[in-house]
Amino acid sequence: MSDEPLHGEEAIIQEYLAPLAAGYPGALGLKDDCATMTPTPGCDLVVKTDPVASGIHFFADDPPADIGWKALAVNVSDLAAKGAVPRAYLMALSFPEPPTRSWMAAFGAGLGEAQAAFGMHLIGGDTDRRPGPITVSITVFGEVPTGRMVRRAAARAGDILFVSGSLGEAALGLGLVRDGGLGRTLGLSEADVQAAVRRYRRPQPRLAVRAALLAHARAAMDLSDGLAKDLGRMCRASGCGARIQIDRVPRGAAAKAAIAFSPRYWNDVLAAGDDYEVLVSVAPDQADAFEAAANAAGGSASEPFPTTRIGEMTGSAEIRFVDGSGSPISLAKSGWDHF
């Protein structure tokens, strides 16, 4: 490993990326123009592409291993929310300047950790040089039994709403990276700071809830642009409204400390991006079974997480956030939009 810049697409591909394709025959060692995939008979393929770019989704000077992890994790998070098993991915990389060998080695190591954790292989892609941010464009392939992908648009009034893990930690992690004094201001321990920064840099797709979703959920989606905005999408798609009890929304240590410091940090919990938790709408008669299955699976995950009831879908056209006494609260902003 060195800081020598890497010249030549084929050097990047064969030295640092081909090892990520080892063991998947259809990848052809990344030596062909295309890859083949043969979905399991009786399964639909579930596909998704969500590129990440420096300055938007990560910082150019973030640890390259974390950039690799996050680029894959944000895509796999969608597969998890759809009940799909990850199988493979394509990756197109763009650099404004040739990467160094040490950068590529660390980036490849982070991707390797992620693909091993998620059970998938790199099968193809592209590498080019262009001005602008470093961009990692990943397309993921997963599988569900035919016709069983968990939809966004299938929620109904009366359904119980659940969310996995906790919300707001990633937004606080970003704040802590940007402002070195914020941890002290909020009275956070070093361990809490590190945990929140890790939530920002190493999101954990909630693959453990997959079986519970397939068995019991009516609708689900992952939370990438904030609960308020993504719940709005589920409500519009399903023709419902929703009512969320904010005191039930699960918060990690950093979010709790931040809200104790100032209630404006509720926005990080309810309306900030990068949580990569799963929002689930469950018919009332399935709610107990879903909750038990999701918590059993989440409890035995390598990084255990709960799944929590936070409200319900309603027949109105609006989304209401209410406090412990049932009084409506309003948000300063409603989530992340790129435009």
Which residues of this chain interact with its own copies, rule CB under 8 A?
6-9, 12, 26, 28, 31-39, 41, 44-51, 53, 55-56, 78-79, 81-82, 84, 90-92, 94, 96, 98, 123-133, 135, 137, 139, 141-142, 144, 146, 149, 151-153, 221-222, 237, 337-339
Q: Least distance to its own copies from the beta carbon of 314, Å?
A: 20
Torsion 230-236-240-242 (CA) sign: positive
Nearest to its own copies of 141, 200 (CB atom): 141
Query: Please, which residue, 8 or 119, has the CB nearer to its own copies?
Result: 8
Q: What is the 3-state secondary structure (H, E, C) of 132-199?
A: CCCEEEEEEEEEEECCCCCCCCCCCCCCEEEEECCECHHHHHHHHHHCCCHHHHHCCCHHHHHHHHHH
- Residue 147 Cβ vs its own copies, minimum distance, rounded to whole Å: 8
- CB of 220 within 8 A of CB of 152? yes
Pick between residue 84 and residue 167 the one whose CB is nearest to its own copies.
84
How many residues are recorded in the chain? 339
Measuring CA to CA, how many Å separate 308 from each of 5, 69, 280, 281?
Answer: 48, 26, 10, 12
Tell the smallest beta-carbon distance from residue 146 to its own copies (Å): 7
Q: Considering the complex, state which of residue 26 and residue 245 has its C-beta at the smaller distance from its own copies.
A: 26
CB of 44: closest distance to its own copies in angstroms?
A: 4
Indicate the residue among 52 and 287 with the shorter CB distance to its own copies: 52
The Cβ of residue 176 has, within 10 Å, a number of other Cβ atoms equal to: 23
Q: What is the smallest separation between the CB atom of 259 and its own copies, expressed in angstroms?
A: 29
Pick the closest to residue 290 from 218, 209, 216 (CA basis). Answer: 216
